Structure 1
Amino acid sequence: MRRVLWVVGWVGVLLGAIGVGAHFSGLVSNIATRIASFTPVLIGVGLIGLILLLVARAWVSAAVAAVVVAVGLGSQAPLYAGVDEQVSPSDLTVMQANIFLGEADAASLVARVREADVDVLTVIELTPESTAALERAGLREVLPFAFVNPRDGGSGAGIYARASLTDGRVLERMRHSNLHARLSIPGREPLSVYALHPLPPYPEPSWRWDAELRELRSVLSADQDPLVIGADFNSTYDHRPFRALLSGADADDSPELTDAAEHLGSGIVPTYPADRPYPAVLALDRVLTRNGPTPTSLRRFEIAGSDHHGVIATVRH
């Protein structure tokens, strides 16, 4: 039995080590990015392996396993070391929603917008049909200003707001619709608002995903205004190119982006997949800020008819 525990334990530790390696390597390949997506799960498997080795009294192997697990847990620690923020009635409420090829229930989503008193809504996978459905459900009564670029399939996007939106543009050199607009709130400094949806690292060639994240780093580093981003990044914290986007790596004098989940210590807030018998495991949908706006709260919510959960953040501005 001890021999069996040793073998199974080492299998778990090796899987954990592969996940940790994928987190740090930054290797751009379909296999490596897929493994990195599940690094937290693999670290958990490594922890089980460590326990089995301890039960088997394989002390040297357990010591090696402990190092792997410690490094793995350390890689996730920044997600849980956040700060406590006080939510104010003057905070902006930002909602990010991927509506699954436009098939999510429009009435349910609009009801959630009303309930949460949303000020800015970023919608991903917006189609012409879903644009019309959202308007019939009364979205423009709540958020009368909009800049949208609906497309068939999963490439469309939109920004809806309670206050005026101007200077709307579609970002160049991106496969999907990635949008920018300026939000003007009376008595406050204007905000740059982005609705982002870079390509996924698989099944697309992963170099295209990496190129789009690099393009977004360039675009965002050039924007010196206060900004708020709602996005389905098709990336997790364990993808090194995504962490480079957050840190502003290779961009001169570019401050870091603030991820609401990381800033608040919310940990992994998984939003995909939401339409399976098992819980969501990948944290793809996010709210980010920079140059002044600060997240003060974050919560996940269900989007009826979508394969993603949405997120709602309050932002001090």
Structure 2
Amino acid sequence: MSIDELTQDQRVTERIARPSKRGWLGWVGVIAGWTGMVAAGAGVGLHYSTTAWEPAVLAASFASYLMVFAIPALLLFAITRRWVSTALAVVVTTAALWSQAPMLWPDGSAPPGTDVVVMQSNLMLGHGSPEAVVTAARDNSAEVLTIEELTPDLLIRLDAAGLADLFPHRFTAPSGGGQGTGIFSRYPLRDGVKFDGFWLNNLRATMIHPDRGPVTVFALHPIPPLSNADVWHRELTRIAEILEAQSGPVLVGGDFNATWDHAPYRSLLTGRYADAAELLGVAALPTWPTDRPFGPFIGIDRVLIAGGHALEINSHTIPGTDHRAVVARLRLAES
């Protein structure tokens, strides 16, 4: 046997012994890639879905996590040289990035105006630590505080911890069963309204800011979608109508029981309202749940602004509740 024939036999043997990219390893990659692409595609679909079907609404809370699988799917298809599948993965990856882009890219710088610090906190049926709330508000120089799940007993304990000294003005509707809500301010409040037709208490008041004048403040808490997805959808739709009808500068704090990936929540932001986290490009800013080892993983506590911009946002652990508090430094544009 010649040297050339021996070399050719060795090459054939090596090709047989070494699985090709289209061999069984390739098929494992293809199956894994399609699994990831289907998951990512489902995430994109959930992001844009307007359905009130409860399983879809709950799944949409994790849509952004599903979209992450688009990237490994794209890499697997490219490695295994499945070019048609690679092209499809590029489309899905682009759609996923497009859906999340507003939360990942800062929306410019804030124009001149009046700064105000807003704090938002859900205190889980009144179990949140009053001392921690007051400390966080004081340390962050909060001027407005919105609270959900405010009970009468918790209100007493908050005042005992120093809340009344920090925020001498308030408009509250405390109650049990998670219904209670409150607006607290360093500056005078007037024209308080508790909106009818909601399962939980949703409030509005006008704050008289010493440098900016009247500023509308909302404390919002639509019902969770658990077993009530259709009601949840209707309440978010009504909240959008209420916000749209409000003129002038507006500050909104709330537990929206919805994430950026829920279309009814994003409908609140189609007009002149903006999410502070969106303006700053800090992504989801997860706030719930904090009472489990693997949380928080979704952001449902939000601060919105109309007629201004955001300068800074962060979250704080409040013992006793399953929500992180959110503190946003906002700037109200000059009138």
- Which TM bucket (shorter chain)? over 0.9
* Alignment partners' CA distance in 2, 1:86 and 1:219: 26
> Displacement of 1:90 after TM fit?
5.3
Superposed structure 1 runs of 4+ greater than 4 Å apart: 86-90
| Pairing partner for 1:270 from 268, 286, 292 | 286
Q: Which residue of 1 aligns with 2:30?
A: 6
Q: Which residue of 2 aligns with 1:195?
A: 219
Q: Deviations over 1:192-213 (max 9, x none)?
A: 1000000122x13311111101
What pairs with 1:62-101 in structure 2 (closer than 5 Å)? 62-85=86-109, 91-101=115-125
| Pairing partner for 2:56 from 22, 32, 40 | 32
SS state at 1:117 partner: coil
* Alignment partners' CA distance in 2, 1:124 and 1:107: 16
TM-score calculated relative to the size of structure 1: 0.92
Q: Deviations over 1:188-242 (max 9, x none)?
A: 22011000000122x1331111110111122112211311000111111111111
What pairs with 1:51-130 in structure 2 (closer than 5 Å)? 51-85=75-109, 91-130=115-154
Q: Does 1:206 align with 2:237?
A: no
Q: Which residue of 2 aligns with 1:307?
A: 322
Amino acid at match of 1:284: I
Q: Percent identity?
A: 37
SS state at 1:295 partner: strand
Q: Deviations over 1:99-148 (max 9, x none)?
A: 11111111111111111111000001111121111111011111111111
Contact kept? 2:113, 2:331, Cα under 8 Å? no
Q: Does 1:288 align with 2:328?
A: no
SS state at 1:53 partner: helix
Amino acid at match of 2:330: V
Amino acid at match of 1:306: T
* Alignment partners' CA distance in 2, 1:146 and 1:127: 15
TM-score calculated relative to the size of structure 2: 0.87
| Structure of higher CA gyration radius | 2
* Alignment partners' CA distance in 1, 2:48 and 2:153: 42
* Alignment partners' CA distance in 1, 2:326 and 2:113: 19
Runs of 5+ unmatched residues, structure 1: 248-254
Amino acid at match of 2:322: D
* Alignment partners' CA distance in 1, 2:132 and 2:48: 40
* Alignment partners' CA distance in 2, 1:112 and 1:87: 27
* Alignment partners' CA distance in 2, 1:233 and 1:129: 24
Q: Which residue of 2 aligns with 1:298?
A: 313
Runs of 5+ unmatched residues, structure 2: 1-24
> Displacement of 1:36 after TM fit?
1.5
Amino acid at match of 1:299: N
> Displacement of 1:86 after TM fit?
5.9
> Displacement of 1:163 after TM fit?
0.6
* Alignment partners' CA distance in 2, 1:217 and 1:83: 22
Amino acid at match of 1:228: L
Q: Which residue of 1 aligns with 2:74?
A: 50
Contact kept? 2:110, 2:308, Cα under 8 Å? no
Q: Deviations over 1:20-52 (max 9, x none)?
A: 011112222112212211111001123222223
1:63/1:187 CA distance change after superposition, 3 Å: closer
Amino acid at match of 1:283: G
What pairs with 1:7-22 in structure 2 (closer than 5 Å)? 7-22=31-46
Contact kept? 1:120, 1:160, Cα under 8 Å? yes
> Displacement of 1:53 after TM fit?
2.7
Q: Which residue of 2 aligns with 1:252?
A: none
Deviates more, 1:140-149 or 1:271-280: 271-280
1:90/1:25 CA distance change after superposition, 3 Å: closer
Contact kept? 2:190, 2:205, Cα under 8 Å? yes
Contact kept? 1:109, 1:304, Cα under 8 Å? no
